[in-house]
Copies of this chain bind each other. A is one copy, B any other.
Amino acid sequence: MKPTRLDRLPEQLRQELRKARRERGWSQLELGRRIGIPQGHVSGIETGKVVPRFDTLLDLVRVLDRDLILVPRALVPAVQALARDYQEGREARLEAGTRPLYAAEESEGEPDGR
């Protein structure tokens, strides 16, 4: 992995964001629309071109049904394992009927009135 002094926003986190967005079948435009930021900005964040403010990132992860939480360093491995297992479970359930599952939902979930 290139150190690319551009990952002031951790690459791992960026990948997870992109993955979560795609799981939902949302384009950057769609995701941006939901939290009120332009497509170009979503792109900049996902590619590591800009480091978002904390509140922006929080809006982003929450609309993707995730959250950012503060944990003691000692617990990081355990929590990550927990999260990974959980996700793998979801994915397994997902490919069972290879359908986006989320993509369909055109319920226009409240844009979280920013």
Report yes or no: B82 in contact with A75, Cβ–Cβ below 8 A.
yes
The range of chain A's interface size is 20 to 34
Q: Specify how many copies of this chain sit in the oligomer.
A: 2
A49 near B: Cβ within 8 Å?
A: no
Using a CB–CB cutoff of 8 Å, the interface residues on chain A facing chain B are 8-10, 13, 16, 51-55, 57-58, 61-62, 65-76, 78-80, 82-83, 86-87, 90
Pairs across A and B, CB under 8 Å, 29 listed: A8-B54, A8-B55, A9-B54, A9-B55, A10-B58, A16-B70, A51-B53, A51-B55, A54-B54, A54-B57, A62-B73, A65-B72, A65-B73, A66-B72, A66-B73, A67-B71, A67-B73, A67-B76, A68-B69, A68-B70, A68-B71, A69-B69, A69-B71, A69-B76, A69-B79, A70-B83, A71-B82, A71-B83, A72-B83
